Amino acid sequence: MNDVAREVGVSAKTVSRVVNDDAHVSPATAARINDAIERLGFRRNESARLLRQGTASTIGLLLEDVSDPFYGALTRAVEESVLAHDHQLLVSSSAEDAHRADRLIAAFVSRGVGGLILAPATGLDEKLLADERAKNCPVVAFDRPLEELDVDTVLADNRGGTIAGVRHLIERGHRRIAFFGDADSVYTARERRAGYRDALADAGIPFDPELVLMLQPDERAGTEALGMLAASADPPTAVFAGNNRWSVQLLRALVRHPIGLAYVGFDDFELADVVQPGVTVVTQDPAAMGRVAADLLFRRIDGDDGPAQRVQLSTALIERGSGERLGPFVG
Amino acid sequence: MNDVAREVGVSAKTVSRVVNDDAHVSPATAARINDAIERLGFRRNESARLLRQGTASTIGLLLEDVSDPFYGALTRAVEESVLAHDHQLLVSSSAEDAHRADRLIAAFVSRGVGGLILAPATGLDEKLLADERAKNCPVVAFDRPLEELDVDTVLADNRGGTIAGVRHLIERGHRRIAFFGDADSVYTARERRAGYRDALADAGIPFDPELVLMLQPDERAGTEALGMLAASADPPTAVFAGNNRWSVQLLRALVRHPIGLAYVGFDDFELADVVQPGVTVVTQDPAAMGRVAADLLFRRIDGDDGPAQRVQLSTALIERGSGERLGPFVG
DNA sequence: CTGTTAGCGCTTTCAT
DNA sequence: ATGAAAGCGCTAACAG
């Protein structure tokens, strides 16, 4: 920057003003400075800027697992927004490990991120996060809310979406519907299970805890559970998969060991439209979730200090056939 | 850091030494300093460190699209390695736009990344990259090589994998085999097409350019192309999909408009084992590619300045049935 | 509209 | 084994 200043014959501060689009520079000098910047190939040293300002044009994104398609799509959407704001994105996967999540947040902050977008891992240390936010580092939660900290939050309509999906099965005559959800510790799993109970209650169908399985999605566990359900005294005629991973694993189990079951899943997945029958799903929109989260964050970065917002994104039922019928899946 | 120094009654420099595991500190003072660090919750300000040292404990990862499952898996693997080295990961998608890629690289560098891992976008400005590397910022290319710059590179065995896949079809009696590849400008697409030609030549089957389609993967384009091929004078009896995206799009097209075609794809995809018949694929290992790329990079960061390495990762044929037969796909 | 001065928090260099 | 001083490149605060 000093080189540019010397070249043009002005002070470094003036160059700084031009680089930062400060209005108080005469067009003529600004032009000469821009010219010199071009000629010398000058690029602002972000680290020095960061040190001075205390906050970098970098956003930290903390999610469960980048390789999960839900988070992949979300990451891409956040990235587009971040790029549009001339920022960069630090990405880390918590792998559902609260301690690791704490470490990663600390690492983000020690690098001076200007804001944090995160899917709160269960057991996350919210005090740590509260400290950061106090240091003027805005925080946006997505997919799950924080429990104590009141921050901007983007959630899918987990309960409503599940109600719609389960109702779809009920309307087709099913009264024994199994529910496969993620571990009980996961917010979305609990919400969706609640939606499942609501839908049953609305229809006057008794709730049977035997039909509810809250487990890590896994083909073997799914196969075993389906086998036990099928062999029970009053077996289910339909299944609701509480997430993307369960949808895929149950599909796999149902294809390998066909049992006549109708089937609806929460969250869409690739090839859900291609298997036979197509899998009816309740879709959420991960890209929209990422976009909204980024928008909320940049609003804070731009100085908005209004009350924390809570955005709920609607879901949609896509009927593809798997909820319509009784009979073995052929995959 | 000054706070810690004052608390203990030493100079900031001594604290710095402790934080950096410098040997020349008496165990006693080190212990007292570590104690104070703990008590005060001190964390080193990476930006100041960066400004002074000129290079951050941050790695830049530039890929085509994080939401593509291939890159998602790779990103996750790189992330694990980066975390193990106490670094952080900046991730950006070039979206196959060379100009955007140039911008992103500049942004990485202005943030002082300690190294760069990238899938070179076609038309990338290699001079820019050469400058950065000269500034002691090591570069590793994956998936595609750089053309002019001699850097550490990790590639899949595109040619050999394709030969194995096409040979699989030939061994099952196919002599008219179509090839769907990405745009001609993409290195992997060209390599795989070359493998396709090699496999045909080995078997004494004439090469027919009419059977080769180099296009952006897209369901409609796939359907049209398949329709034209089916209606031609000497239609193919089998298809080789040159990548993950084509595999999925062709599968979709073949399910909606069944034509009797055997089918093998390059790169695995979720549910390839579930559709009927299962899709035979040539797998590459994106996680291994990420791991190897990160290893190469950290070796450079740790000071290795030996000649550039070129690692080729082997592929494997997974037979699932789609290459065995002639007859309509039922999905 | 432009310049001067000072300092962000750390590490390098050179003393002690 | 420890400390003092200087400075990385930029921008905030205050002139002029």
Q: Is the CB of B17 under 7 A from strand D?
A: yes
Q: Which residues touch strand C (CB under 7 A)?
A: A 9-14, 17, 23-26, 28-30, 48, 51-52, 54; B 1-2, 12-13, 16, 19-20, 42, 44-45, 48-49, 51-53
Nearest alpha carbon to residue B313 among B119, B181, B164, B156: B156
Domains by residue range for chain A, with CATH: 1-44 (1.10.260.40), 55-156+286-312 (3.40.50.2300), 158-285 (3.40.50.2300)
Classify strands A280-283 and A316-318 as parallel, antiparallel or unpaired: antiparallel
Q: Which residues contact A256 (CB under 8 A, 6 or more apart)?
A: A223
Which residues from chain A sit within 8 angstroms of residue B78, using beta carbons? none
Q: Work out if A52's Cβ lies within 7 angstroms of strand D.
A: yes
Each residue of A297-307: pLDDT tens digit?
999 998 898 99
Say whether A72 sits in a helix, a strand or coil: helix
Q: pTM, whole model, 2 decimals?
A: 0.92
B318: its two tokens: 């997974």
Indicate whether A326 pLDDT > 80. no
pLDDT tens for residues B211-262?
999 999 999 999 999 999 999 999 999 999 999 899 999 999 888 887 889 9
In Å, the largest CA–CA distance within chain B is 89
State what percent of residues in chain B have pLDDT above 90: 70
Average pLDDT of B69-95? 96
Q: Cα B276 to chain center, whole Å? A: 29
Residues of chain B found within 8 Å of residue A252, distances taken between Cβ atoms: 273-274
What is the residue whose two structure tokens read 């070249």? A7
Helices H / strands E in chain A, number of each: 12, 12
- On whether the CB atoms of residues B42 and B6 are closer than 8 A, the answer is no
Instruction: For chain B, give the percent of residues with pLDDT over 70.
Output: 98
CA of A262 to C1' of C5 (A): 75
CB burial class (10 A; 0-12, 13-18, 19+) of residue B289? buried
Tokens at residue A12, please? 């470094």
- Six-digit token pair at A147? 């429990």
Report the C-alpha dihedral over residues A92, A94, A98, A100, rounded to 10 degrees: -60
A117-161 pLDDT per residue, tens: 999 999 999 998 898 887 889 999 999 999 999 999 999 999 999
Model confidence band, residue B331 (pLDDT cutoffs 50, 70, 90) = very low
CB-CB under 8 Å, A252 with B273: yes
Average pLDDT, chain B: 92
Q: List bases in chain C with any atom under 7 Å of a protein Cβ.
A: 1-5, 7-13
Q: Is A41 exposed, middle or buried (0-12, 13-18, 19+ CB in 10 A)?
A: exposed
Gap between the Cα atoms of B35 and A317, Å rounded: 56
